[in-house]
Structure 1
Amino acid sequence: MMDELELLKKDWQQKKGQLPRLSYDEIYKMVRRKSSSVVKWIFYISIAEFLFWIILFFVPVPGGKLMAEGAIILQSIEMGLEIIRYAAVAYFIVKFYQNFKKISVTDSAKNLMKNIIVVRRTVMQYVWFNLGVFAVMMVIVFIEYVNYDPRIELKTMIAEAENSILLWLGVCIALLVSIGFFAFLLWLFYRILYGILLKRLNENYRELKKLEI
């Protein structure tokens, strides 16, 4: 079943000799409204994600925090990264809101196309930033628990082994594979979540290009 936009396009193509300007404006307004709705959802989702990370921050760690001197230093680095992440996410939320306002008041197809490109670029920057922070955090947590958690005897076992260098190499490879796997899952989550919305924006962008031709 054709949606409203497709019906307007078909009507415009059939009657463009009679009312080209009115039909053009109707189609443009429809695309702008749909684009504004997509960006609004991106804005809402980013707020929900921000609140999720804040709630997760206050969830107690099983077994409590490690109190060794080196662990405390690493935990301070973790805290610094958390603050940077929250500040960055807040920045992106503001950017998403600004993008939403710009698209809502855009008065030409050309400017709307430019704003759609900006939105896509901002979303991609947001996703890659989160993936980068996630990877760094995984490395820090791994170092912290392997070196300072008395319940984990991996460091002692490797030190007592004959081929300790090879074992450490294997551990590093396993760590990289684990980071890659979980980063891929996170990327897949973002791909599904934001990918659907970006796909709609891309469709709107293509419709605008047709109008401009």
Structure 2
Amino acid sequence: MPEFDLDSFKKTWQEQPVQPKYDNNEILKMLNKKSRNYMKYIFWISVVEFLFFSVLGVFYLIQSNESDSFLNILEKMGVQKDNQLVTKLDNIYLIIKILSLVVTGFFVLKFYQNYRKIKVEEDLKLFIIRIITFKKTVNAFILTNIGLLLILITALIGFTFYILNAQHIELDSSSFTGFIVGIVVSTILCVILIWIYYRLVYGIIMSRLDKNLNQLKEIESHEN
């Protein structure tokens, strides 16, 4: 019986050509399909958000007490509450609410259009451009929502000073400082909470989409 040479066997095994499990075309199709699915998830999340805020807006419209908490703050500052004041404040909330729904609806449409343009058999370079465009749309959506919050807060601050001036109310330095500090702290907390929400909801999907994008770029660089 011939003597078994382990070293020779290992050398022969190592020298055998290793066949790749998938070729570039198969990998490309899988990455394209995954990317399309990630975009679909973001689209449906945005649809749910749109429906949620629409229902919430209708609920507050029926309740008609959305501005009560802010009115309480104004009353503590010495502002006299009347029907005209309540109507103006309700109009501010209504405008911001409608603007928010319009913006969200616009981005839902953009997400859907971007998703529909993605084709698995599409040219690789064009597909990469589609993904980059989609990422920019998501980032614009997040920043726009933060911008809407800042617009609402700015409108409320402007409205506060307008009412104080109209009713000839002068705040002492401590009350004025407390008001400004409260607004700034509330704004920062709201922006942080919104950012955390979008990072958790969209960030996980976007990180996987980024991973796919990098792999697609690598395949594209090998093909050139």
Task: Say yes or no: TM over 0.5.
Answer: yes
- C-alpha distance 193-15 of structure 1, shift in aligned 2 (>3 A): same
Superposed counterparts of 1:1-80, under 5 Å:
14-15=18-19, 23-59=23-59, 60-62=63-65, 68-80=83-95
Can you give the 5+ residue segments of structure 2 that lack an aligned partner in the other structure? Answer: 1-16, 72-81
The amino acid that maps onto 1:38 is: Y
Distance (Å, rounded) in 1 between the aligned partners of 2:66 and 2:217:
57
Q: Please tell me whether residue 98 in structure 1 is matched to residue 113 in structure 2.
A: yes
Count of residues in Structure 1 that have an aligned counterpart in Structure 2: 186
Alpha-carbon offset, residue 105 of structure 1: 5.0
Distance (Å, rounded) in 1 between the aligned partners of 2:88 and 2:139:
32
Distance (Å, rounded) in 1 between the aligned partners of 2:67 and 2:128:
51
Indicate the structure (1 or 2) with the bigger Cα radius of gyration: 2
Alpha-carbon offset, residue 86 of structure 1: 1.2
- C-alpha distance 63-194 of structure 1, shift in aligned 2 (>3 A): closer
The amino acid that maps onto 1:115 is: R
Tell me if structure 2 keeps the 8 A contact 1:131–1:186.
yes
**Equivalent residue in structure 1 for 2:124, among 99, 109, 131:** 109
TM-score (norm. length: structure 1): 0.76
Instruction: Give the match for residue 186 of structure 2.
Output: 178
The amino acid that maps onto 1:43 is: F
**Share of identical aligned residues, percent?**
28
**Equivalent residue in structure 2 for 1:194, among 198, 202, 206:** 202
Tell me if structure 2 keeps the 8 A contact 1:109–1:208.
yes
Tell me if structure 2 keeps the 8 A contact 1:106–1:112.
no
TM-score (norm. length: structure 2): 0.72
User: Which of 77-86 and 108-117 deviates more?
Assistant: 77-86
The amino acid that maps onto 1:42 is: I
Can you give the 5+ residue segments of structure 1 that lack an aligned partner in the other structure? Answer: 1-12, 149-155
Tell me if structure 1 keeps the 8 A contact 2:100–2:148.
yes
- C-alpha distance 68-141 of structure 1, shift in aligned 2 (>3 A): farther
Distance (Å, rounded) in 1 between the aligned partners of 2:119 and 2:105:
21
Q: Deviations over 1:67-122 (max 9, x none)?
A: 53133223223222222221111110111011111123551221111111111100
The amino acid that maps onto 1:54 is: S
Superposed counterparts of 1:129-140, under 5 Å:
129-140=144-155
- C-alpha distance 72-62 of structure 1, shift in aligned 2 (>3 A): closer
Instruction: Give the match for residue 125 of structure 1.
Output: 140
Distance (Å, rounded) in 2 between the aligned partners of 1:133 and 1:68:
26
Alpha-carbon offset, residue 142 of structure 1: 6.7
Tell me if structure 1 keeps the 8 A contact 2:67–2:90.
no
The amino acid that maps onto 1:181 is: L
Alpha-carbon offset, residue 136 of structure 1: 2.6
- C-alpha distance 142-14 of structure 1, shift in aligned 2 (>3 A): farther
Tell me if structure 1 keeps the 8 A contact 2:29–2:121.
no
Alpha-carbon offset, residue 123 of structure 1: 0.4
Distance (Å, rounded) in 2 between the aligned partners of 1:196 and 1:63:
33
